């Protein structure tokens, strides 16, 4: 793949997120979850480039969970071969189980749990201590509004988190990066993105939150960046506490 000028709008926030949260350390074995979409391929490209020039040495693996939906994963395989990245395909029947057998009315939750379980267990089998996920800033903002509106709590994706039961650390190097930046990057670098095969694609509550954010951005330009700053500066003392009834 021909080298092209790096996009500061991607590299700067990705590097800042990695440094701010100490995501990558000497000797790490990192498994990148690669679905084949623009986000995960951008993540893999960034981590692979970092592996070549970073003074911090780490190993990189690409893992793809095959949902059993009949989609060719050859573009991912070929991309990894061309860039010298070790790639493993995890065969599952998650798609048929969720959509055909269970006929889930809200399939995202079960699919996510099963997909993450397959990804994390395979990463551990390979000896990886970290799993890199391709969630970006827009994903974090959408998650915040989903939790606020549907779960009545203020919560979002964390840049780094430790799963004690799996004994594995999740990192999100693109968490400061805008989705539109990733789209532009993937287009400029001609990343071989695969069309999302999920039957529920574009029909979820998350899609509603994406539309809400687009509206807010039109109404209040720069709102995404201000929300990111708010996440970084949040102080629990600013939030209401649930008061216990005073004893009589």
Number of domains in the chain: 1
- Is residue 1 in a domain? no
Q: How confident is the model at residue 185 (pLDDT cuts 50, 70, 90)?
A: very high
Residue 185 φ/ψ region, left for φ over 0, alpha for ψ in the -120 to 50 degree band, beta for the rest: alpha
Domain membership of residue 239 (yes or no) is no
Over residues 213-217, the mean pLDDT reads 94
Q: pLDDT per residue over 134-170, tens digit each?
A: 999 999 999 999 999 988 888 899 999 999 988 999 9
What pLDDT is recorded for position 158?
A: 93
pTM of the model: 0.89
87 domain-assigned: yes
Residue in the block written with tokens 């003392």: 237
pLDDT for position 242: 62
Query: 34 lies in a domain?
Result: yes
Strand boundaries in the chain, DSSP class E: 29-33, 59-66, 86-91, 130-132, 160-163, 168-171
Q: What are the CA-CA distances from residue 66 to residues 72, 117, 182 (Å)?
A: 9, 13, 23
Confirm whether 12 is domain-assigned.
yes
Domain at 49, CATH number: 3.40.50.620
Q: Is residue 244 part of a domain?
A: no
Contact 128, 61 (CB under 8 A): yes
CA 61 – CA 81 distance, rounded (Å): 12
């Amino acid at each position: 793949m021909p080298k092209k000028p790096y996009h500061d709008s991607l590299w700067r926030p990705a590097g800042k997120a990695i440094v701010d949260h100490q995501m990558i350390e000497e000797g790490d074995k990192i498994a990148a979850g690669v679905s084949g979409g623009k986000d995960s391929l951008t993540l893999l490209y960034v981590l692979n480039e970092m592996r070549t020039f970073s003074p911090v040495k780490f190993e990189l693996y690409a893992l793809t969970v095959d949902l059993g939906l009949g989609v060719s994963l050859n573009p991912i395989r070929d991309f990894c071969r061309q860039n010298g990245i070790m790639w493993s395909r995890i065969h599952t029947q998650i798609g048929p189980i969720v959509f055909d057998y269970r006929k889930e009315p809200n399939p995202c939750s079960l699919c996510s749990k099963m997909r993450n379980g397959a990804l994390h267990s395979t990463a551990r089998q390979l000896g990886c201590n970290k799993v890199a996920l391709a969630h970006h800033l827009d994903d974090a903002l959408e998650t915040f509004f989903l939790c606020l509106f549907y779960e009545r709590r203020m919560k979002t994706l964390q840049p780094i988190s430790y799963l004690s039961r799996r004994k594995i650390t999740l990192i999100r190097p693109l968490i400061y990066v805008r989705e539109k930046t990733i789209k532009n990057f993937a287009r400029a670098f001609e990343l071989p993105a695969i069309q999302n095969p999920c039957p529920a694609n574009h029909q979820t509550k998350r899609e509603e939150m994406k539309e809400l954010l687009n509206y807010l951005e039109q109404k209040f330009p720069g709102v995404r960046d201000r929300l990111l700053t708010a996440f970084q500066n949040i102080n629990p003392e600013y939030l209401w506490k649930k008061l216990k009834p005073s004893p009589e």
